[in-house]
Amino acid sequence: MSSTPQQASAVADPRERRKVVAAVVVGTTVEWYDFFIYAFAANLVFAHLFFEPAGPAMMQILSLLTIGISFLFRPLGAILAGHFGDRLGRRPMLVITLLMMGGATALVGVLPGFDTAGWFAPVALLVLRIVQGISAGGEWGGAVLMSVEHAPRGRRGRYGMFPQLGVPIGMLLASGMLALMTVLAPGEAFLQWGWRVPFLVSVVLILVGYLVRRSVDESPVFREIQQVQAQESSPIPTLLRRFGGIVLLAALVFAGNNAVGYMVTGGFVQGMASRTPEEGGLGFDPTAVQLAVLAAALVWALSTIASGFLSDAIGRKRTYLIGWLLQGLAVIPLFALVSIGTGGVLLGTCFLSLGLGLTYGPQSAWYAESFPASVRFSGVSISYALGAVLGGAFAPTIAQALLQATGTTWAIVAYLLVMTAIGLAGTLFLRERTDIPLSREFEVSGSWETWTSDAELGVLADKTA
């Protein structure tokens, strides 16, 4: 790798960096807790509560579709947050998206069912899910840039893994809360009111996240842009015109992780294991299943932490390549293990989580290093949202449809291996940029262009090292 000039932007002091880390971890954890609570409930409760008139076969598909619908609106959230994040700053977007997600989640917790409100209930559920999708599409980019742009060079991987920790920690909290409620409100009580409690708890978590996030300063890179009044007037058209190839490759990288990860985070494995045989499930104890997923979330968190340090040591791309290998190896026996019992659910999801952490932890730093300062928020957010649409949006629905069409989980395994291969291909073509300067000064000097390969810009070339 060629030498590069030192980053010219101001570097945040250690105290401010600690505040940013706390704000990012708390905020993303709350956001993803809200997201996972919905996904788990959609697999366990919403089919009966909102879609029972559709019949036994379709009600589960419709419930899973509400998970996927939100992903279609992530690009809208990414476009809005990217535009205003590149023009007005990273910090305001963090607060706005957090409040949107929390408000929508709390309202889901008080929605009446179809038997009480008729068609209003599923329509209102869909609208609130769309709001969650818009929020999720905009939140991640702001959290990533606050972390990575505050980080000293040489440590971006470990700082960038903090927003990624929001996923496993949020899943851990969501699984733990649902496991608790299946004990406190077992059976019919859970269907009647127990599922609502985790949604309403979100109000308290959102308040904590809001208080923490509003206390942090703006990113040093964006302050530099403000000082020279160099905000891009139309960041998204500029991004797509100049860096559309990078957006697509980055999206493919995330799609490979997201499709596979959503087997767990989207609640598919939990639903398959917990539903009764009459409902097409395996009939395992729901509490034991949630505890197994909770353990998998802990493994995912530890793997994510390790990947941040590893990517600083050996580079983003090499870390990803190790992760894709582990992810592919874990996908093959996943459903065979799940079918054994709750011990198999534990082993299968924990093994899978090792690879998922390695293909998710370095993403923040690699994405931030892949786009110049003036369009970075837009580039990071749109790449992430597009990857979510291509990967996780309908992964649980596709898996359920494949299972119903073929009668075997090996069809799902084949689908997940294809998505892993797509992520691997994106990784091979996306250029390594570990420790590239992130400042606006580096961008306007013209040096950033030397770090962009022809393949990324859409021209077939063998220069993707």
Domain holding 23: CATH number?
1.20.1250.20
pLDDT confidence of residue 223: 75
Q: What is the DSSP letter of 361?
A: T
- pLDDT tens readout for residues 198-242: 999 988 888 888 888 777 777 777 777 666 655 566 788 989 988
Of 464, 64, 22, 51, the closest CA to residue 245 belongs to 464
Describe the chain by its helix, strand, coil percentages, rounded to 5. 80, 0, 20
Residue 225, in any domain of the structure: no
Residue 4, in any domain of the structure: no
Please state, in angstroms and rounded to a whole number, the distance separating the CA atoms of residues 77 and 385.
Answer: 8
Please state, in angstroms and rounded to a whole number, the distance separating the CA atoms of residues 448 and 373.
Answer: 10
pLDDT confidence of residue 464: 37
Residue 140, in any domain of the structure: yes
- pLDDT tens readout for residues 75-123: 899 899 888 887 777 788 888 888 898 899 999 999 999 999 999 999 9
End-to-end Cα separation, the chain, in angstroms: 9
Instruction: Please say whether the beta carbons of 135 and 78 come within 8 A.
Output: no
Residue 155, in any domain of the structure: yes
- pLDDT tens readout for residues 115-149: 999 999 999 999 999 998 899 888 888 888 888 98
Furthest C-alpha separation in the chain:
66
pLDDT confidence of residue 231: 59
Q: What is the DSSP letter of 408?
A: S
Please state, in angstroms and rounded to a whole number, the distance separating the CA atoms of residues 302 and 354.
Answer: 8
pLDDT confidence of residue 1: 40
Instruction: Please say whether the beta carbons of 212 and 94 come within 8 A.
Output: no
Distances in Å between the alpha carbon of 232 and those of 82, 92, 340? 11, 17, 55
Residue 9, C-beta contacts closer than 8 angstroms, at least 6 positions apart: 149, 220, 221, 223, 224, 438, 439, 440, 441
Residue 2, in any domain of the structure: no
Residue 24, in any domain of the structure: yes
3-state secondary structure 171-220: HHHHHHHHHHHHHHCCCHHHHHHHCHHHHHHHHHHHHHHHHHHCCCCCCH
Please state, in angstroms and rounded to a whole number, the distance separating the CA atoms of residues 356 and 338.
Answer: 17
Please state, in angstroms and rounded to a whole number, the distance separating the CA atoms of residues 299 and 168.
Answer: 8
The helix (H) or strand (E) run that includes residue 440 is helix 440-444
Instruction: Please say whether the beta carbons of 71 and 394 come within 8 A.
Output: yes
Residue 200, C-beta contacts closer than 8 angstroms, at least 6 positions apart: 106, 109, 110
Q: Let me know how many helices (H) and strands (E) the chain has, helices first.
A: 22, 0
Q: What is the DSSP letter of 439?
A: S
pLDDT confidence of residue 287: 86
| Structural domain total, the chain | 1
Which stretches of 30-133 are assigned E, i.e. beta strand? Answer: none
Residue 98, C-beta contacts closer than 8 angstroms, at least 6 positions apart: 27, 30, 31, 135, 139, 206, 209, 210, 213
Residue 223, in any domain of the structure: no
Please state, in angstroms and rounded to a whole number, the distance separating the CA atoms of residues 26 and 177.
Answer: 17
Distances in Å between the alpha carbon of 114 and those of 118, 130, 326, 329? 4, 19, 43, 42
pLDDT confidence of residue 232: 62
Q: What is the DSSP letter of 438?
A: -
Q: What is the DSSP letter of 279?
A: G
Task: Per-residue pLDDT tens, the chain, 465 aa: give them.
Answer: 434 434 434 455 777 788 888 888 888 888 788 878 888 888 788 998 999 888 887 888 888 888 878 888 988 998 998 888 877 777 888 888 888 988 999 999 999 999 999 999 999 999 999 998 899 888 888 888 888 988 888 999 999 999 999 888 888 888 889 889 989 998 889 888 999 999 999 888 888 888 887 777 777 777 776 666 555 667 889 899 889 999 999 999 999 999 999 888 767 898 899 888 887 789 999 889 988 988 998 999 999 999 999 999 999 999 999 999 999 999 999 999 999 999 999 999 999 999 999 999 999 999 999 998 888 989 999 999 899 889 987 888 899 899 989 999 999 999 999 999 999 999 999 999 888 888 777 777 766 666 665 556 553 333 333
Residue 332, in any domain of the structure: yes
Please state, in angstroms and rounded to a whole number, the distance separating the CA atoms of residues 157 and 243.
Answer: 23
By residue range, what is the domain housing residue 52?
Answer: 19-217+233-451
Distances in Å between the alpha carbon of 79 and those of 5, 50, 378? 31, 31, 7
Two structure tokens written together for 171: 């899943």
Please state, in angstroms and rounded to a whole number, the distance separating the CA atoms of residues 263 and 412.
Answer: 10
